[in-house]
Amino acid sequence: MLEYSKIKILLLTAYRTVENFFFEVKGSMAAKNGFIVLEEYLCDEHCDVLINEINQLPTGSVKSFDNDKRIFGSQHLSNVISKYFANRLDLIDFGELMVRRKLRFQTTLAGHISYKEGALGSGGGWHVDSHSVQFKAMIYLTDVSEDNGPFEVIPGSHKPKWFLVFLLRNWFSFTSITRFDNQLVSKYDTKKIMGKRGTVVLFNPLLIHRGLPVTKGERYALTNYYVNNKVPVGTAIDNLDKEQQLS
C-alpha cells in the first residue's frame, strides 16, 4: 500500500512540476519559499482578548495530542475569534494569490501548547498536511522564540520539482508519504519563524513543516484552514469543524 501511495504521489508531483513551469508566479517571496510573514497584524490588546477566549472555550471541545491542545471550529464557539481572525477576507485573498486557486474557508484551529519532556511539538513532528491544494494562516498570540515552539519549515519544499527530487532521492527511506523523521529532514536547511505576538505566518501546507518542540513556556496560536473551492464539503477537517456546529 505504501509503494502504491508513493507512486501515486510521484505521478501527481510530476504533473505539478510541468504545470508550475508554465504558471508559477516567479520572483515572489511566496513562490520561492512557500510562506510569508506579516508582522503586527494584530495588536497586543487583541491578542490578550483572543487568549482569554481560548482559555474559556469548553473543555469538551479540546482534542489533546500529548501536550498539544487543539480546538477545531473555534470560530463557532467564540464570536471574538470569528471577528478578529476567522472571517478576515484579506487572509483568503493572500491565499488565493499564493496557491493560484479559488479557496474556501474550512475552520479555525485554536491551539495551546506547553512544555512537556520528550514531546514532539505542534503537529507531531515533520509533515505535510496532504498532497492537495490548501492554504493556512497562523497567528502567534504569544511572543514566539526558539524556546516555545516556533513554526519551522524547509523553505521551497512546497514546489513540485523540489518534492519530486526529494521523493526520488529518499524513495527507500519513506515510511509515510506525509510524515518524515528527523534523520531524513536533517539533510536539508530549515527555517525557524520566530515573531512577536500578533505576527501572522501565511503558508502553503505542502511545505514540509512542524512546530519546533517547546523547551520552555507555552505558545497560543490561531490557524485558519482553507482548501481548494472545488473540493466538496466533507473532508476530515470539514467534519471536525462540523462537530462544533452540532455541539
Predicted structure pTM score: 0.86
Q: Is the pLDDT of residue 168 over 90?
A: no
Per-residue pLDDT, 7: 54
Between 71 and 2, name the one with better pLDDT.
Answer: 71
CATH code at position 230: 2.60.120.620
Phi, then psi, of 231 in degrees rounded to 5:
-75, 125
**What are the residues whose beta carbons fall under 8 Å from the beta carbon of 3, sequence distance 6 or more?**
none
Mean pLDDT of the chain: 86
Cβ atoms 243, 178 nearer than 8 A: no
Cα–Cα distance between 34 and 59 in angstroms, integer? Answer: 34
- State how many domains the chain has: 1
Between 200 and 118, name the one with better pLDDT.
Answer: 200
Domain containing 95: what range? 2-246
Confidence class for position 8, pLDDT limits 50, 70, 90: low
> Which stretch of 28-42, 101-115, 182-196, 219-233 has the lowest confidence by average pLDDT?
28-42
